[in-house]
Amino acid sequence: MSELNKFPTIFTSSQFKKSIDKNEIDTITSSLAHTLNQRYAGEELVLIGVLKGSLTFLSDLAKKLKDIKVYVDFVKLEAVGRDKENNGTIIVKKDISTNILDRNVLIVEEVIDTGRALEFLYTRIKQSNPRNIEIITLFDKPYKRAVNLKANYIGKQLDDQFIVGYGLDLEDYGRNLCDIYCLEFPN
């Protein structure tokens, strides 16, 4: 099978099934934005997206923020040397360029599982002395957590399932899908 045909546009197959449709994602995103609109009304807010997965969620969320002066920046992290016995090292592949000193910062994640890289990022950003730092995630998998970290805003908790779509990928495929698909028979 050609790499281009590996993951069709509709992404339904015997291996994947639609789990969360775009309307539910939009409802979740709108609800999170409503909460943020109340929390940060009349203030500045720096959104820091964790690349690449958070791009779609951050974009949709930012469009729904009203009466907030929004700044957007991105960070890209990579875990190297990680295996079953070793947590590895988190390295910064792309850092933020926005001054966050004494500013409200919101780290935007699409899904939190182990939380290791996010804990690293949170600690690193906190050292820059923002006024406030919070975490928002579209999806949370708390049963996978390897560190003591909790998001301030959670769209939806998920069961133990591998998901693709809406920014989430499988070998860099599927990020452009509007819906979320889960692996039908995980191994």
pLDDT, mean of residues 160-181: 90
Inform me whether the pLDDT recorded for 187 exceeds 80: no
**The pLDDT of residue 173:** 84
pLDDT, mean of residues 157-163: 89
**The pLDDT of residue 2:** 47
pLDDT tens, position by position, 55-99: 999 999 999 999 999 999 999 998 887 665 556 789 999 999 999
Instruction: Report the length, in residues, of the chain.
Output: 187
Asked whether residue 86 is domain-assigned, the answer is yes
Burial of 132 (0-12, 13-18, 19+ CB in 10 A): middle
For CA atoms 12, 186, 182, 63, the dihedral sign is negative
Cα–Cα distance, 148 to 175 (Å, whole number): 28
Cα–Cα distance, 11 to 53 (Å, whole number): 18
Q: Which two tokens stand for residue 7?
A: 């993951």
For residue 152, the 8-state DSSP code is S
pLDDT tens, position by position, 103-126: 999 999 999 999 999 999 999 999
**The pLDDT of residue 6:** 53
CATH of the domain at 80: 3.40.50.2020
Asked whether residue 176 is domain-assigned, the answer is no
Q: Which two tokens stand for residue 105?
A: 């910062």
Asked whether residue 93 is domain-assigned, the answer is yes
Q: Which two tokens stand for residue 116?
A: 């290791």
Q: Considering its fold, how many domains does the chain have in total?
A: 1
Asked whether residue 177 is domain-assigned, the answer is no
Asked whether residue 172 is domain-assigned, the answer is no
**The pLDDT of residue 161:** 86
**What's this model's pTM, rounded to 2 decimal places?**
0.89
Q: In 10 A of CB 57, how many CB atoms?
A: 26
| Catalytic residue set | 113
What is the residue range of 111's domain?
22-161
